[in-house]
Structure 1
Amino acid sequence: MISAQPRHPHFFALAGALLLALLGLFAVPAKAQVTAFKQAVAEAAARDEALSEFYRTTNYESLWTGRDDRSRRSAFLRALSDAADHGLPVNRYDPEMLAATFRAARTPREIGQAEVLASRMFLQYAQDIQAGVVNPRNVDDGIKRSAPRRNRLSQLVAFSKSSPRAYLNALVPDSPEYARLLQEKLRLERVLGAGGWGDEVPGRALEPGASGGTVVSLRNRLIAMGYMKRSASQVYDAALQKAVQQFQLDHGLSPDGVAGPATLAEINVSPAKRLGQVIVAMERERWLGPDRGRRHVLVNITDFRASLVENGKTVFATRAVVGKNQHDQRTPEFSDVMEHMIINPTWNVPRSIATKEYLPMLQRNPNAASYLRLVDARGRTVSRNSVDFTQYSARTFPFDMKQPPSSRNALGLVKFMFPNQYNIYLHDTPQKHLFSRETRAFSHGCVRLNDPFDFAYELLKVQTSDPVGFFQSRLATGRETMVELEKPLPVHIVYRTAVTQPKGRTQFRRDIYGRDARIFQALDEAGVVLRAVRG
């Protein structure tokens, strides 16, 4: 649902400020009133362990409703007035409702209830803006992340001892990506408020040299999106071709300058859907937490790309192949630490692949996939001629399968290990032709790299003055060799369909596994709305 509303960023803050005089009525001087207030707070907080413990340890002193709490009330109301900017479900912490509750409270009991309401609302807001609105693991089983939620009691205690405005400001993710996503969200809201990007472009394909009304529709759409200056031409000329190419680059499409079916499909995506992608990216940024590592590996599944990032700047990037869009083969999202690389690796065939793919082949032809060795439980190589494969099922198959090091090895000539329970790693591949594809979801889940040697050199340059010579000397032996990384580094496998640039337009990618659609549905159910902002 799209909510249209004027842009008044400090409306609620001003309203809150006007209430401060009334809020002074929350003073409770008489002993009987103090006792009644504390009793009301105890009752209202009783079912929430964190709230109950906090007020018990503070002897039920007010956090929000006393004369000395005015700055805290004002700062919180101001923060809540900006919650919608961050794509949060404002119905969870409505500043108008809270201000009205403060204003209406007269008796010690009502004031005590308002006190606990504000604390409960604060905890909800703090958790949402800092660590995300929804639990990532409840949305999709391919998201192997836990939101970095703080202990609720600790959060209340810390807030009570801090400068209110500074504490609330610090809850907002401080990554440059989040700040840029926030600006893109506000921009798209203004686009929606101004009527969007106009009519969709009809037809299935347009090529340079074409002319007519459909070309005009394409031109007008790209002008509205900011890819072209205004023009009255009806011809698919060089200027229009250049604009299409730039659009393709920004959306992960092959930049051939031809508005084919895939390109037109992306051009016709509505600003509302793009806004939803940005809101989901902001939620994902909250899940990732603040500590990415000064030097880290970043794999964006939807962009089919792996990068090495140092001090916030990408110092190396390569094309990647990720998991197929099948339930047991999609690349999962998680973070871990890369510890070593293996040069000339042996491929230990995962049991799921051995039993689902190779066992049926062996049952038809015992000599199939002859490049794989059969190994028993004691580590001995088994002759295929001595095995009747038809007697085994996927459950009873007793052998491991291995491919020795070689240029034909499924892992190529090097793999990069960050040991994890999902058995996911980065590696080389002999199937180089796949990297020329626009969409590169072909693996069983691991991430294949187009330039694995260059990636290895970048990793090794911090521990040797000659990373190329070091790597090549190990490679030349033909033997499997483990190389420890003296400085292990974090690996973040993410899924972002909206990614900002330090300079230039936000880039968008397709939701290849449908995960972002499920996240947006969860956010929608939580109360997040798309705003169309006028003015």
Structure 2
Amino acid sequence: MSLVTARPVLTRLAASLLLFASMVFVDVPSAQAQVTALKQSIAESAAKDPALAEFYKSRGYKPLWTSKSDAQRRRAFLKALGTAADHGLPVNRYDADQLANLFRSAKSARDMGRVEVEASKMFLQFAQDLQTGAVNPARVDSGIKRKPPRRDRLAQMIAFSKSSPRGYLKNLTPKSAEYTRLMKEKMRLERVLGNGGWGPTVGAKALKPGQSGAQVVALRNRLIAMGYMKRSASQAYDAELQKAVQLFQLDHGLATDGVAGGGTLAEVNEPVEKRLSQVIVAMERERWMLPERGRRHVLVNITDYHAQIIDNGKVTFKTRSVVGKNDEDRRTPEFSDVMEFMVINPTWNVPRSIATKEYLPLLKRNPNAVSHLRLVDNRGRTVSRGSVNFSQYNEKTFPFNMKEPPSQGNALGLVKFMFPNVHNIYLHDTPSKSLFGRETRAFSHGCVRLSDPFDFAYALLARQEKDPVGYFKSRLNTGKETRVDLVEPVPVHIIYRTAVTQAKGRTQFRRDVYGRDAKIFNELRKGGVALRAVQG
């Protein structure tokens, strides 16, 4: 080869070597530097969050959201975030549009690392809120003793990273039938709100059958708008309107007398916004509950003043109840536990708060006051009242316990149902039967009194005794305190719901007797929950 022909070849070879050099020493290091910078940014951004720091470390700081192969995951998550308002969640915590803009605008490795971790933080917040609630119950009201079953954040990230994004996000939604029905009711009420609500309120203080006039028409029109009766031109409080009022009263826990008294009209006049907020709070409360309630369980809804036995999703027993009075130290708490036994002919061990706050002042004035109660020292010995100077004691120094022996007049009645708990709450009989006839039944010191405690006992014992009635009465007739263990312990759920759906029929609404729902909605509203009005 001559030098003349070789020169172009050498020139091309030199050019190739230069190109190779540039690829080796410029492009490749540049790509590696980008990867290194991204990993370093992810590590720095996640450092203050132990769960995310461990998650990204375990995967060598490989991104979950920001690589080209993560497009499907990004789309699925952004779509899920768009449903937050449908679930009544605080949307200010996870703005889908803001996150989408961050994904689009992130160009440098450092920015992509920040967006990567921000997306994971948002995912964890959304997943927790949708699965187990957006509000911490204990911070809202001291009477809410529930601890939602929060999933470990690291475990959540690992599970999500190994799952189909769309399927995983879909499965975050609570699976209970109640939640599904509440969500449908929320959407229905949003449409009612979008269409202007239920019309003018009723201005009368009370209305009854036989009356007529503008306010009767206002009542009729409002009940028509709510779906309790068909359209009518009648101006009279006739039989048709009376039936509609009774149906409304039944759905709102009111005495079904067909008379639109002050209490009934107050509920009739509640705006759509109030009912919508109740449904949103009920959805939040449903998220707090464990998904498995028990094939057989006892359900006490404080606001409904009833106790039920539920078998395989159906109510098999129901009785009226009396719950705690709306005083700071008497309100019935919300919690779940397991009923283990019942006590027939129980002794009432007077709670110390009652003994010192209610009975000690009486004993100071008259040592023979509340004579049906025994005074007992710390060794369990009965103490003669004549030997005690009650005036020397106060709430903190009172050294005695007080007990009421089994009897017909015992404060606990003739049977109590125990699910041992730190709150000292249980279900029991009562000699004060007249209270069960009242519409509102918040009178106790916190425990739940039952209107039909014997029947309740028979229903529980039927699972383990051939003759539950005979078995119960034989123990009762001894007059002695007798413990009867349940062969199959039964979960007990004391809940507080002012909106409850039915498998068939309209949603039931109750008054916020302790004001707890108002507190919960206020917390949700702070996070961005708003009442939506949907047209159509």
**Length-normalised TM-score, structure 2:** 0.93
Separation of aligned partners in 2, 1:276 and 1:195? 16
What letter matches 1:129 in structure 2? L
Deviation at 1:107, TM superposition (A): 2.4
Unmatched runs of 5 consecutive residues or more in structure 1: 1-27
What letter matches 2:462 in structure 1? K
Q: Deviations over 1:425-461 (max 9, x none)?
A: 0000011110000000010000000011111111111
Q: Aligned pair 1:464/2:465, yes or no?
A: yes
Separation of aligned partners in 1, 2:30 and 2:484? 71
SS in 2 for 1:30: helix
Q: Aligned pair 1:239/2:237, yes or no?
A: no
The residue aligned with 1:360 is 361
The residue aligned with 1:524 is 525
The residue aligned with 1:81 is 82
Q: Deviations over 1:285-338 (max 9, x none)?
A: 111121211211111000011111111111111100000000000001111111
Separation of aligned partners in 2, 1:96 and 1:530? 20
The residue aligned with 1:294 is 295
Alignment of 1:335-414 (within 5 A): 335-414=336-415
Alignment of 1:437-456 (within 5 A): 437-456=438-457
What letter matches 1:219 in structure 2? R
SS in 2 for 1:96: helix
Q: Aligned pair 1:132/2:133, yes or no?
A: yes
Alignment of 1:90-239 (within 5 A): 90-239=91-240
Change (3 A) 1:29 1:261: farther
What letter matches 1:443 in structure 2? S
What letter matches 1:311 in structure 2? N
The residue aligned with 1:415 is 416
SS in 2 for 1:532: coil
Alignment of 1:466-505 (within 5 A): 466-505=467-506
Deviation at 1:404, TM superposition (A): 0.7
Deviation at 1:29, TM superposition (A): 9.8
- The structure with more radius of gyration: 2
Change (3 A) 1:126 1:29: farther
What letter matches 2:196 in structure 1? G
What letter matches 2:39 in structure 1? K
Deviation at 1:378, TM superposition (A): 1.8
After TM superposition, the structure 1 stretch with the greater mean CA deviation from structure 2, 373-382 or 400-409, is 373-382
Separation of aligned partners in 2, 1:173 and 1:180? 11
SS in 2 for 1:534: coil
The residue aligned with 1:14 is none
What letter matches 1:134 in structure 2? V
Change (3 A) 1:29 1:202: farther
Q: Deviations over 1:341-385 (max 9, x none)?
A: 000000011111111111122222222222111112221112222
Q: Aligned pair 1:252/2:253, yes or no?
A: yes
Deviation at 1:420, TM superposition (A): 0.7
Deviation at 1:525, TM superposition (A): 1.0
Separation of aligned partners in 2, 1:67 and 1:113? 16
The residue aligned with 2:426 is 425
Task: State the superposition RMSD in angstroms.
Answer: 1.3
Separation of aligned partners in 2, 1:389 and 1:43? 67
Separation of aligned partners in 2, 1:88 and 1:64? 23
The residue aligned with 1:514 is 515
SS in 2 for 1:442: strand
Unmatched runs of 5 consecutive residues or more in structure 2: 1-28
Separation of aligned partners in 2, 1:287 and 1:358? 38
Q: Aligned pair 1:321/2:322, yes or no?
A: yes
Separation of aligned partners in 2, 1:475 and 1:208? 48
Q: Deviations over 1:506-533 (max 9, x none)?
A: 0000001111111111111121111111
Q: Deviations over 1:447-495 (max 9, x none)?
A: 0000111111111111122211111111111110001111112111110
Deviation at 1:103, TM superposition (A): 1.7
Q: Deviations over 1:34-78 (max 9, x none)?
A: 112112211221221111111111001121122322221222122
After TM superposition, the structure 1 stretch with the greater mean CA deviation from structure 2, 349-358 or 507-516, is 349-358
The residue aligned with 2:7 is none
SS in 2 for 1:402: strand
Separation of aligned partners in 1, 2:378 and 2:40? 68
Separation of aligned partners in 2, 1:360 and 1:372? 15
SS in 2 for 1:322: strand
Deviation at 1:210, TM superposition (A): 0.6
After TM superposition, the structure 1 stretch with the greater mean CA deviation from structure 2, 165-174 or 414-423, is 165-174
Separation of aligned partners in 1, 2:73 and 2:479? 67
The residue aligned with 2:26 is none
What letter matches 2:345 in structure 1? N
The residue aligned with 1:55 is 56
SS in 2 for 1:309: strand
SS in 2 for 1:486: strand
Equivalent residues, number? 508
Deviation at 1:197, TM superposition (A): 0.6
**Length-normalised TM-score, structure 1:** 0.93
The residue aligned with 1:30 is 31
Separation of aligned partners in 2, 1:143 and 1:407? 33
SS in 2 for 1:530: coil
Separation of aligned partners in 1, 2:100 and 2:298? 46
Q: Is the CA contact (8 Å cut-off) linking 2:91 and 2:527 kept in structure 1?
A: no
After TM superposition, the structure 1 stretch with the greater mean CA deviation from structure 2, 277-286 or 390-399, is 390-399
The residue aligned with 1:305 is 306
